[in-house]
Amino acid sequence: MKSARRKAREFAVQGLYQWQLTQDPPTLIEKNLAENQAFEKCDLTLFRAVLFGAISHADTLRSAMSPYLERDWDDVSPVERGVLLVAGFELVHMPETPFPVIINEAIELSKTFGGNEGHKFINGVLDKFVEQVRAAEAQNVRNQRGQRRG
């Protein structure tokens, strides 16, 4: 069974997909998504924070992540862009969520909604992006992993 937070992220990706295609305001997107019965089981606070935040910060997030893409942002599928915007927003604006959780959730979202190899692309971009936006946390995780091996 999926957690309320996973469902919130799934609906946020769907909302960002709709936004990219229609440029509808996030309030209308939320209204449309709320018609789905499963919507009531999502973490509404997280959903709203991520959907509204990713839309309002989309240009900044796109610019920040573009150096880590192997192709132009516009050549990335709308689904993968949606996943990157969700994860990018959380990485930058929700430091209370550990970055490994955010990256893992993004990989799972990509497996759910994206193409066959999309999760590898998402993982690669976010692994590089996290070094920019959460360098200290990334270093701590690397140090902890190194201590476990040693």
Reply yes or no on whether the pLDDT at 97 is more than 60.
yes
Residue type, 120: K
- Convert the pLDDT of each residue in 67-92 to its tens digit: 999 899 999 999 999 999 999 999 99
- For the entire predicted model, the pTM comes to 0.93
Residue given tokens 């973490």 in the structure block? 43
The more confident residue out of 81 and 149 is 81
The per-residue pLDDT for range 129-144, each reduced to its tens digit, is 999 999 888 888 888 8
Please tell me the total count of domains within the chain.
Answer: 1
pLDDT of 150 over the 70 cut: no
Residue ranges making up the domain that contains 115: 4-149
Contacts 24+ apart (CB under 8 A), 113-120: 113/10, 113/13, 113/14, 113/17, 113/79, 113/82, 113/83, 114/77, 114/79, 114/80, 114/83, 115/77, 115/79, 115/80, 118/77, 118/79, 118/80, 118/83
> CATH code at 15?
1.10.940.10
Give pLDDT, residue 101: 96
